Amino acid sequence: MTLDFGVVPSYSQLLFTGLLWTIFITVLAGSVSILLGIAIATTTLYGPKFASLPVRGISFLFLGTPLLLQLYLLYYGLSQVGVMLPAFWTGVVGLGLHYAAYNADIFRASLQAVDPGQAEAARSLGFSRGATQRLFIMPQAIVTALPQVGNNSIILLKDTAVLSVLGIAELVLNAQRAISETYRPFEFYFTAALLYYVVNLAMEFLLGIAARKAEEIR
């Protein structure tokens, strides 16, 4: 069997739609992972024991098991207890939760890395505890965390491919649809890989700019 990439262009719209969904899912799940990551880091660092211990335990479970298994557990397990979440939202939430556990570690380290003198100075100027955290500690920690959280977002982009097993029509599933009509797996998976690679490079480029900006602010 020879290769024939000639069949690919006629499916370009299908692939492009899939790519847009992939980017959309990356943005949604990425936002969930960052916001929740900050929430987990703050809870485990400053929260009361009865809150921080379970949160720490749950994020340990997320770090120690495969994403695919977590998605299945969410998708099938929730329906067992009567919660019917659509596949799309299961995927977004599952992916977001998974990377929130990874981002939380980074945010925690970044929060701890902020010079204690900063908080002391803000408190002595009369800022409340909450305002000190919000206006002085958190912004500095976010700047420190940015490069690594960005890296995680790039890894997250590639893991959106796993959502195809839940039947979410992103890039991989749309490539599979094209394959089922043409029986040309290599051509379509290769094209999909190429598209992921391009988005990946674009994200790396943007994060490089953001990281340089962050370095300037520091």
- In order of 42, 103, 190, the CA distances from 36 in angstroms are 10, 8, 34
For the chain, count helices (H), then strands (E).
10, 0
Of 154 and 211, nearer to other proteins (C-beta) is 154
Of 38 and 207, nearer to other proteins (C-beta) is 207
Which residue in the set 49, 81, 124, 209 belongs to the binding site for other proteins (CB under 8 A)? Answer: 81
Please say whether the beta carbons of 137 and 119 come within 8 A.
Answer: yes
Of 65 and 118, nearer to other proteins (C-beta) is 65
Cα–Cα distance for residue pair 180/176, rounded to 1 Å: 6
Cα–Cα distance for residue pair 103/53, rounded to 1 Å: 18
CB of 76 to other proteins, least distance (A): 3
CB of 138 to other proteins, least distance (A): 28
Q: Which residues touch 208 (CB under 8 Å, ≥6 apart)?
A: none
* Contact call for residue 159 and other proteins (CB under 8 A): yes
Of 154 and 214, nearer to other proteins (C-beta) is 154
Please say whether the beta carbons of 119 and 180 come within 8 A.
Answer: no
* Contact call for residue 214 and other proteins (CB under 8 A): no
Show the CA angle centred on residue 13, arms to residues 10 and 18, nearest 5°: 130
* Contact call for residue 72 and other proteins (CB under 8 A): yes
Cα–Cα distance for residue pair 132/114, rounded to 1 Å: 12
* Contact call for residue 82 and other proteins (CB under 8 A): no
CB of 45 to other proteins, least distance (A): 23
CB of 196 to other proteins, least distance (A): 5
* Contact call for residue 76 and other proteins (CB under 8 A): yes
* Contact call for residue 24 and other proteins (CB under 8 A): no
What tokens appear for 146 in the block? 């940015």
* Contact call for residue 172 and other proteins (CB under 8 A): yes
Please choose, from the candidates 1, 11, 2, 52, the residue with its C-alpha nearest in 3D space to the C-alpha of residue 191.
11
Q: Which of residues 31-70 bind other proteins (CB under 8 A)?
A: 61, 64-70
- Binding residues for other proteins (CB under 8 A): 1, 3, 61, 64-70, 72-73, 76-77, 79-81, 158-162, 164-165, 172, 179, 184-187, 189-190, 192-193, 196-197, 200-201
